[in-house]
Structure 1
C-alpha cells in the first residue's frame, strides 16, 4: 500500500505511576481534529490502562503480558504493519509503553528502513513523578534509561513537592540528558506546542532490538476474585501496607466490586491510594494488578483478606 504521507509517532514512556495515561488523554484532546491510533502496552495479562484512554482516536491496539522493548518485539512489528494497512490512514500514532520499558530500544525500530518509510518518529516523551523519582532512580535502572532516551521530560505532579526538590530533579535529568527539554506539569498536562520543538540528534543501534533480553527485575501479579469488597477497609489496608512496603510495591491498579456490585477503579502510586466509583464499566469479578519487587501471591491474598466481605455478612445486609 502506497502512503501519501508518513504517520507521525509519539512514544510516551515513564516509570510506574508517573502519569502516562493521563498525559496521553490530554494530548488526544489536543489532536482531536486529526486521525489518531494508540498502541497500549501493559506488562501484565490484562490491560487496565487501555480502559482509561479517552479522547479522539480511531483504534487502540493492545499489547499485553510483555514489554515491547524486550519480550514482544514481533507483536509490535505486526501491529505497525496492521496500522499501515488500515483503509483510513491515521495522522498520528501514540505509543504508551509499560512503566519499565526502555524507550530507546522501542525508538530503534523506527530507524529500520521499511518502518521509516511509513512512520516518522517525532518525539520521545518521558513522564517522571515529582513525588517519587528521586527515590526510584537509584534502585531501578529503567528510570535512567527512559530519561536518557527522551526528547522531552515532563515532571508531573510538580506542584505537590517543594521547589528545592524540583531543582534536584532538574539537576538529575540534565546530568544524564543535558539536551532534553524539561517541562513542569500538573495532572499530566502537556501543551501540544511543546511537541513541535526540534529534537537533539540521537544514535540508536537497531541491532540491539533483536538481541535484547528482558532484564527487568520487577514482577507483575494479578489478583482475581468473584468476592466483593468493603471499599473503606480496602482503602485503609492498601494505605497501611503501602506505607510499610512502598519500597516493594510500586503500583497497584484495577477494578473491584463492592457489596452492591458497583465498580470502583483502584490506583496507587508510591504511598498514594485512590479508589473511585466508575460508571459504564461492566465487571463480573474484581481484578487487581500488583507491580513491584519480590511479590508473592500469598502475601497479596493476606493483604486483601480483611477487605473482602464474607458471604454470611453480605447475605445479612
Structure 2
C-alpha cells in the first residue's frame, strides 16, 4: 500500500472546524490572552480531530520576542557537549524556550555557515563553544541583536555572555599535580590541537608549567583527528615505542586517557608505579574503572544550566567562572 502525503492542516482549517477566528485559535494554543473554557475545549477538540501541529517557528518569527535558543556545538560524540545541552534544556523548557542545535565537527568554516543558518530564524540567543570564531562569525553575532553565550572557556574576550572556566588554568593545575607527585619525564597524548582550541590552551598551560619548573615535556603524540578511546590507546603505544622511560602521560581528555589505561592493562604496565596517567573532563566511566582516573572534572551540566538562566533572565553582559575540580584518583 502506497503512502500518500496529505496537505498540512492549517490554522484556518482549525478555526473553521471550531467555529472561531484564527486569532482565537492562536491565543488558545499559546495559552495567552482571553478565551472561555468552552472555547478552549472546542479549539482543542478540533486540533485533535484534524491532527493539527502548530508551526512554532512561524509563531516565533511573528512574535515580538523569539523563544528559540540556537546551540552551535562542535560534537555529539564527545559527552561534554550533550552534558551542556542537558543542563540548559531543563531551564529553557521551564521558561517555554525551544532549543535547536547543529554540529560543526570542530570546523570554523562550518561553524560560520551554521551560525548564519541559525540566525536566519531570529533566535533569542546563540550558544557556542569557546571564544575562537572566524571574523565572519563574529561579525554576524555582533550584528544579530540576539544574546550570545560562549561556554566552556574563559581564556579570551567574550562577545556578550560567557560561562565556564579557564582551560589554561586547568592545564597548569594538571602539571602542578604531576610535578608534586614526583614525576619528571612527562609526555603528552592528544588529538587535533588546532581544531580543538580549548585542548590547545590546556596543553599550552601544561607545557608552560613544566618548563617553568625545569622539566620540559619529553615528547608528544598528537592524533590529527578527533579524540577517542582507540586513538588514546594507540597514541600511547606509539609514544612509548619512542620514549619507553617516560614516567607520566597527560592526555587531552578522559576518552584518550582511558585508551591509554587499556593499553597499560593489555601490556602489563603497572599504573601508576611504572606509568602515571592523567586525563581531563571527569567522565563517569573514569570514576568506576578498577583504578579511578586521575583527572580534572569540569562543570559541564552546570555550565549549560547557568548559561540558560542568563538567557531567560536577559542578564547584562558578564563572565561567569564556575571553576573546575582536580580528582586525585588512583592513576597518578
* Structure with more relative contact order (C-alpha pairs < 8 Å, separation 6 or more): 1
Return the structure number with greater helix share. Answer: 2
Common topology (TM > 0.5): no
Query: With structure 2 as the length reference, what TM-score do the two structures score?
Result: 0.29
* Structure with max Cα Rg: 2
More strand by share: 1
